[in-house]
Amino acid sequence: MEPFFKLHENKQLHRQIKILTYLRKRNDITSITELVQEIGCTPPTLRSDIQALRTKLPPSIQLQSIKMIGYRLKIPNGETLDTYLLSLVRETITYKIIDRSLRGNQQSFEAMRLEYHLSSSALRKIIQHMNHELKNYRIQLSPKNGDLVGKENEIRFFFFYFYTSFRRTIITDHTYLSSQETYKVMFAELEQVFQSHLHISNFRATLWLSILKERWLRRKQGEIPSETLSMIQSRKSFKRFSKKITPFLREILGIQQLSINELVWAYLIALHCISYSSSNYQETISHKATHYQEEAPAKKWIKQFLLDEVLIDGTTKEGIEQMSAYLANLRLLNKITDGFENHPLSIDHLVDPYFEALYHSWQDRLQQLKWQEIIPMTCIKEVALSLSMIQSSYQQIQRRKKQMIVFTFHGDAGYDNFLMAMIQKWLPETYHPLFLFDQPITQTKIDELGACLIISNYDLAEKMACEVIQIAQIPTHEEWTDLKLHLIERASSH
């Protein structure tokens, strides 16, 4: 919700959302002292914010006060705080103004003042604050009618950036677009449009179509340099794309006709919807492309530059292909706006030291003249983050050698194999388990295997150099739980 927070000036709402998100993160009773330090306010302000917040919370979400201790947030299973936060934000003037602009529901300054029950000076102050932040997107909000003004490309990208932070896909209020059946049809049709070509993210594609539909209904035209327009029009992939998407736009979105300019815009925006996920994580092995066929020469050229980088060592062949495709696509998208380099991701809490080092190294590399000549970049930090995310996901297996652990059990018929089967159900994938039943465990054998841990339900004949965990022949519930936790924690630290 970063774009919203910067545009919205109400400090109490900022604090209330911080309170909820921090309590959700802690998932336990949190002291007033800790909350005050985290939120950055006084105890009386905290109590006042929480009291006001309780009146807004739905009955299913409880903000409990534990006398003399602190507060706890209780959310039922199957519900998320994110959904509620969106409903809270949608009631703000900031969200309503942006949403009205998207839908083309303009109002005069006086009409806005009356609807939001504000004085003229208060409304001007809100618009001035929003415009101060909107300068970063190279657009402004008109006080005359509450509409966004500036280059159409920048306006479109701002809408995508704004709504994607709320996890929204369908953002229009047309009733037929809200129905579950239409939603399914859109997904199915989208897949048909791109079936033979691109590996498309349904979330991004649906959100973009939702935004573009509103802009097309208002007859807004995106800006495309004439040289780029001519180049795209001559492509075979564009002619194929145009032929497939035109019936979809007419039958599903009700857009009867689009100019060549807007068909090219849609063709290019498809590149912003590409998923660079590995085929290992897909339901079926996919051979869909991550770029248009005409980008193959540019991708090959960029790939050569990547291969010359020491940073690329240890990255799989598929990873290098995906990084090359991402940079080739970005190079083409930048012809519309450099806004496509940007994204609202904040993943500091998810990364390890290796990732941080990789990210900072890419920042340094991308500032070099060589890379700036290949792809002139404005948002170097964000491009470095995208490259690091793609690269690290294709280095994970090579970078982390699995830990060899040996299990040796004995018992009545079928018992040893039963224990093995039970353990395999929850054993983390970072381990390479070996179950030895048919031979004695010796240090020589352990050295040969390179094992770092032995788990046994009987006494071993000799002392081992590696870690040994011994459990009862029939482990107690506590032993079984402790073993599971120990192996999971060990996997995490590895």
CA dihedral 249, 255, 256, 259 (to 10 degrees): -90
Please say which residue of 134, 150, 166 terminates a domain.
Answer: 150
Q: How far apart are the first and last CA of the chain?
A: 33
Are residues 75 and 64 in contact, defined by beta-carbon separation less than 8 angstroms?
A: no
The CATH number linked to 478 is 3.40.50.10850
The whole-number average pLDDT for the span 335-358 is 78
Query: How many angstroms separate the CA atoms of 46 and 64, rounded?
Result: 14
d(CA 477, CA 479): 6
Model confidence pLDDT, tens digit, residues 300-326: 999 999 998 888 888 888 889 989 999
Q: Do 185 and 227 belong together in one domain?
A: yes
Evaluate whether residue 159 is within a structural domain: no
For range 156-182, the mean pLDDT: 62
The whole-chain average pLDDT of the chain stands at 82
Average pLDDT, integer, range 235-249: 86
Same domain? For 219 and 264 the reply is yes
Structure confidence at residue 170 (pLDDT): 44
Query: Is residue 100 located within the same domain as residue 127?
Result: yes
One domain, residues 258 and 336: no
Claim to verify: residue 358 and residue 406 sit in the same structural domain: no
Q: pLDDT band at 418, cuts 50/70/90? A: confident
C-alpha count within 13 angstroms, C-beta hemisphere, residue 141: 32
Query: Residues 77, 25: one domain?
Result: yes
Overall domain count for the chain = 5
Residues 317 and 387 reside in one and the same domain = yes
Q: Residue 360: which pLDDT band, with cuts at 50, 70 and 90?
A: very high
Q: Please tell me the predicted confidence (pLDDT) of residue 10.
A: 81
In this structure, the answer to whether residues 121 and 70 fall within a common structural domain is: no
For the record, the structure tokens of 24 come out as 């959700």
Residue 349 above 70 pLDDT?
Answer: no
| Whether 77 and 106 share a structural domain | no
Q: Is residue 287 part of a domain?
A: no
pLDDT at position 445 is 85
Q: Which two tokens stand for residue 341?
A: 């380099």
Burial of 24 by CB count in 10 Å (0-12 exposed, 13-18 middle, 19+ buried)? middle
Which of 26-30, 271-275, 450-454, 476-480 comes out lowest in average pLDDT? Answer: 476-480
Q: What pLDDT is recorded for position 188?
A: 53
Residue 52 has pLDDT above 80, yes or no: yes
Domain stops at, among 35, 60, 88: 88
238 within 8 A of 265, measured Cβ to Cβ: no
- Residues 410-430: what's their mean pLDDT? 76
Residue 286 lies in a domain: no
- pLDDT tens per residue, range 181-214: 444 454 455 555 554 456 777 667 878 888 998 9
- pTM higher than 0.75: no
Residue bearing tokens 């959904």: 83
Q: Which of 377, 398, 419 is the last residue of a domain?
A: 398
170 within a domain of the structure (yes/no): no
Is 156 domain-assigned? no
Q: Which of the two residues, 362 and 180, has the higher pLDDT score?
A: 362
In a domain, 166, yes or no: no
Q: The CATH number of the domain where 14 resides is what?
A: 1.10.10.10
- Assess whether 418 and 489 both reside in one domain: yes
- Residue 175 in this model has a pLDDT that exceeds 70: no
In this structure, are 217 and 308 located in the same domain?
Answer: no
Query: What was the pLDDT predicted at 292?
Result: 84
| Sequence-ordered list of residues with C-beta below 8 angstroms from that of 247, at least 6 positions apart, any chain | none
Do 412 and 381 fall within a single domain? Answer: no
Question: Is 168 within the bounds of a domain?
Answer: no
What average pLDDT does the segment 365-390 reach? Answer: 90
Residue 239 lies in a domain: yes
Q: Enter the tokens of residue 205.
A: 């594609």
| Domain with 51 in it | 2-88
pLDDT tens string 257-285:
889 999 999 999 988 888 787 665 554 54
